[in-house]
């Protein structure tokens, strides 16, 4: 039996756009069905659902919403949508990728994943002729590693992204020069202590990204690419090294400073473009996050190997991000050699960590492919069960955007939990609760948004290895969890619980008043559970 699906027509909607949901139900409802639109646990509106076809929900106010296909009180399918004002769109980034630019390819594989996972931005990886000569190949060429690129295909994919609400960002390495262009740029090289140019194997050499001649050339190339291809902006890549180098003229170059100079030069040339700079292994996030670019994007490598490391990276990024979205590229190499279920669980724990700390994850892209390698052409075609789970988790991310990704959210775990505080905690008979990511425990985190409290519970009870890229067993059975909350006055607050592997929506639970504190039993914890406490 094929399950019904709900897929929005766009990855994100603007406030003046009608929200339209495509309903696909091969088996048919058999009974009347409706689409329910909910806002953080509150039913907003219902619309009669077709058995197949499009349902127009009309314009929705600014916000994030869960969408359910309901028959006879039973949820048969779910999705989510986000509606933003045009001036707020820059503050949202759910990132995907594309690598296939063969002539006459169907853009539908890309637009389908954009819509299903609610992606807002697509990185066009290795679309260019050469790193230091983006458009020099004419209308059709092989990229530096021999992959066929047709510029008409790139243009068509850019247009396709726009039709489904996503921005198209062209990949561009900020200081990489290939063999053909090297004679022109060797005098601008970055040299190591022995006087040799820094290089990526024998493939690319590195130049000073802040050199005026280079920034002028690079700005010209990017401007030409916008005119020729139509990109909405650029993904500005680096390799994480060197941190400090010298030029052939003996000048000492601090790359943290030079990257900021480079970003500002590109911004001057492209004032309206979306610019996303890659802080490889968190270098130099502290500097570039404050530069005039549009997201705090970090590609993580060793020594950032554990779930706790990911949490720390995001926490540092949010401390300097302001209102910019935080995106982490954590490539799930484990799909290359681990069983699908074990790799899926590793990915779920990675997403739970990133989402609960206020970041999104660059993982999925064109045709349902997953990133397992920094060279994006080496990717993994996800199995249907993996894509189904990703869709559920991305639905969850979108629906609960305001209590996950709001830049004003603060961590209050150390102020509320524990015996000394005794304000809010969760216990299980089957495992201890921990304020840090620890194998064999439930990782508990408490955040505050205004006067709302949010508790995140991540089930590590069955894990023996907290590496985010290591295969993981199914979540352990913990028994019934108990939430205990100090009362303030006026009765118990409203408490809601949601699980991306469950119904996906916030469902109310009843608190039992016990004097100074109230308690409630929690639904079974699978991988990640979110608890929202309002009216305290």
Per-residue confidence band for 29, with pLDDT thresholds at 50, 70 and 90: low
Tens-place pLDDT, residues 360-400: 999 999 999 999 999 999 999 999 999 999 999 999 999 99
The residues spanned by each domain of the chain are 5-84, 410-534
Cα separation, 50 vs 28, in Å, equals: 9
Cα separation, 359 vs 316, in Å, equals: 11
Tens-place pLDDT, residues 222-270: 999 999 999 999 999 999 999 999 999 999 999 999 999 999 999 999 9
Q: In the predicted model, what is the mean pLDDT of residues 66-79?
A: 94
Half-sphere exposure of 328 (CA within 13 A, CB side): 32
Q: Are 81 and 44 contacting, i.e. CB atoms less than 8 angstroms apart?
A: no
Per-residue confidence band for 535, with pLDDT thresholds at 50, 70 and 90: confident
| Average pLDDT, rounded, for the chain | 95
Q: In the predicted model, what is the mean pLDDT of residues 129-158?
A: 96
Which CATH number applies to 5-84: 3.30.43.10, 2.30.110.10, 2.60.40.1930, 2.40.128.90? 2.60.40.1930
Q: In the predicted model, what is the mean pLDDT of residues 6-20?
A: 96
Same fold, 5-84 and 410-534: yes
Which architecture does CATH list for 410-534? Sandwich (2.60)
Strand-by-strand arrangement of the 360-362 sheet = 95-98, 121-124, 167-173, 233-237, 274-280, 296-299, 326-329, 360-362
pLDDT at 30 over 70: no
Per-residue confidence band for 24, with pLDDT thresholds at 50, 70 and 90: confident
Q: Are 253 and 190 contacting, i.e. CB atoms less than 8 angstroms apart?
A: yes
The pTM score is 0.96
CA 486 to chain centre: 34
Cα separation, 475 vs 528, in Å, equals: 10
pLDDT at position 201 is 83
pLDDT at position 131 is 95
Q: In the predicted model, what is the mean pLDDT of residues 140-168?
A: 96
The per-residue b/e assignment along 166-188, b for 16 or more CB within 10 angstroms, e otherwise, is bbbbbbbbbbbbbeebbeebeeb
């Amino acid at each position: 039996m094929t399950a019904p699906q709900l897929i929005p027509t766009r990855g994100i909607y603007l406030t003046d756009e009608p929200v339209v949901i495509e309903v696909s139900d091969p088996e048919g409802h058999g009974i009347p069905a409706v689409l329910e639109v909910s806002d953080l646990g509150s039913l907003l509106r219902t619309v009669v659902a077709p058995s197949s076809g499009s349902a127009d929900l009309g314009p929705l106010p600014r916000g994030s919403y869960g969408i359910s296909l309901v028959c006879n009180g039973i949820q048969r399918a779910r999705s989510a949508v986000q509606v933003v004002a045009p001036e707020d769109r820059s503050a949202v980034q759910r990132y995907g990728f594309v690598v296939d630019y063969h002539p006459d390819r169907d853009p539908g594989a890309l637009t389908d994943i954009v819509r299903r996972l609610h992606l807002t931005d697509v990185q066009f990886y290795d679309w260019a002729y050469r790193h230091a000569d983006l458009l020099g190949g004419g209308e059709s060429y092989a990229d530096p590693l021999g992959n066929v690129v047709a510029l008409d295909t790139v243009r068509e994919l850019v247009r396709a992204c726009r039709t489904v609400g996503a921005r198209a960002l062209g990949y561009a390495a900020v200081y990489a020069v290939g063999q053909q262009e090297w004679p022109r740029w060797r005098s601008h090289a970055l040299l190591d202590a022995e006087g040799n140019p820094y290089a990526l194997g024998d493939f690319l050499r590195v130049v000073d990204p802040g050199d005026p001649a280079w920034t002028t050339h690079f700005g010209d190339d990017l401007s030409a690419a916008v005119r020729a291809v139509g990109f909405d902006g650029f993904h500005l890549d680096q390799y994480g090294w060197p941190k400090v180098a010298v030029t052939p003229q003996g000048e000492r170059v601090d790359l943290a400073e030079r990257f900021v100079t480079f970003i500002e030069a590109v911004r001057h040339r492209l004032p309206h473009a979306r610019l996303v700079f890659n802080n490889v292994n968190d270098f130099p996030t502290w500097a570039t996050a404050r530069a005039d670019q549009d997201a705090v994007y970090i590609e993580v490598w060793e020594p950032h190997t554990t779930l706790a490391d990911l949490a720390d990276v995001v926490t540092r990024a949010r401390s300097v991000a302001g209102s910019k979205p935080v995106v982490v590229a954590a490539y799930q190499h484990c799909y290359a050699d681990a069983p699908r279920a074990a790799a899926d669980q590793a990915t779920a724990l990675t997403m739970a960590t990133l989402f609960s700390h206020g970041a999104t994850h660059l993982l999925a892209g064109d045709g349902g492919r997953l990133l397992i390698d920094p060279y994006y052409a080496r990717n993994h075609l996800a199995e249907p069960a993996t894509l189904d789970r990703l869709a559920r988790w991305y639905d969850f991310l979108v629906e609960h955007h305001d209590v996950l990704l709001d830049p004003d959210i603060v961590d209050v775990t150390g102020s509320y939990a524990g015996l000394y505080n005794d304000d809010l905690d969760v216990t299980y008979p089957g495992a201890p609760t921990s304020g840090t990511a620890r194998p064999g425990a439930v990782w508990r985190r408490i955040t505050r948004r205004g006067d709302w409290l949010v508790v995140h519970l991540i089930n590590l009870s069955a894990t023996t290895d907290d590496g985010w890229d290591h295969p993981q067993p199914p979540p352990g059975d913990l028994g019934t969890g108990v939430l205990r909350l100090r009362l303030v006055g006026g009765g118990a607050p409203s408490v809601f619980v949601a699980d991306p592997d469950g119904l996906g929506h916030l469902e109310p639970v009843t608190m039992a008043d016990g004097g100074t504190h109230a308690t409630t039993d929690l639904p079974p914890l699978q991988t990640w559970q979110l608890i929202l406490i309002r009216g305290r």
